[in-house]
């Protein structure tokens, strides 16, 4: 039976897709049902409002909002809902995402947006942060996240061992 999405990812434009897509694999791996929308604070303001107002009653628990340029998406969503909103500044403009970072991170007091780093890494961390929020009330998910963190550490140590044994990266003269 299909489960209701617990996380909603919203992108300001389809041009943001390449920076969002890698994070979807993380959610699938963690078995967290999600939904994705393309909505723009500037181009479709009414649809953004409607989405944000209905998200909670539709079962969404965390919203990840990814937008570039003069990125108001996360802030506008946060102004219409009490759900946790995580903003991800998208790269791709002539300012390389710094514009979106400043637009997303500098919220006025009273309307919180948890802002991640720019681009793909930011989107990955946004869904991991969303998963950690859900894991506070979901023991299986908490265990899954802990396992993933251990696997990641093991992989780095494996690479470290490879480097230490390689003639390129270690030279004793």
Residues that bind ligand RP5 (CB under 6 A): 12-13, 15-16, 40, 67-69, 90, 92
Least distance (Å) between residue 26 CB and ligand RP5: 20
Pick the closer one to ligand RP5 by CB: 68 or 122.
68
CA distance 46 to 58: 18
Least distance (Å) between residue 11 CB and ligand RP5: 6
Least distance (Å) between residue 170 CB and ligand RP5: 43
Pick the closer one to ligand RP5 by CB: 61 or 103.
103
How many of the other CB atoms lie within 10 Å of CB of 33? Answer: 13
Pick the closer one to ligand RP5 by CB: 15 or 106.
15
Least distance (Å) between residue 91 CB and ligand RP5: 8
Q: Which residues of 130-151 are buried (b: 16+ CB within 10 A; e: fewer)?
A: bbebbbeebeebeebbeeeeee
Pick the closer one to ligand RP5 by CB: 114 or 118.
118
């Amino acid at each position: 039976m299909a489960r209701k999405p617990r996380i909603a990812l919203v992108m300001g434009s389809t041009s943001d897709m390449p920076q969002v897509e890698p994070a979807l694999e993380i959610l699938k791996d963690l078995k967290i049902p999600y939904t994705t929308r393309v909505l723009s604070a500037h181009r479709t303001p009414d649809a953004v409002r409607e989405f944000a107002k209905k998200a909670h009653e539709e079962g969404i628990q965390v919203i990840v909002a990814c937008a570039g340029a003069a990125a108001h998406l996360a802030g506008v969503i946060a102004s219409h809902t009490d759900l946790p909103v995580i903003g991800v500044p998208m790269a791709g403009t002539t300012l390389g995402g710094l514009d979106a970072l400043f637009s997303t991170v500098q919220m006025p007091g009273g309307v919180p947006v948890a802002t991640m780093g720019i681009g793909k890494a930011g989107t990955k961390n946004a869904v991991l942060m969303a998963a950690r929020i859900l894991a506070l009330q979901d023991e299986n998910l908490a265990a899954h996240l802990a396992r993933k963190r251990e696997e990641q550490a093991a992989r780095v140590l494996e690479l470290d061992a490879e480097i230490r044994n390689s003639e390129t990266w270690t030279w004793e003269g």
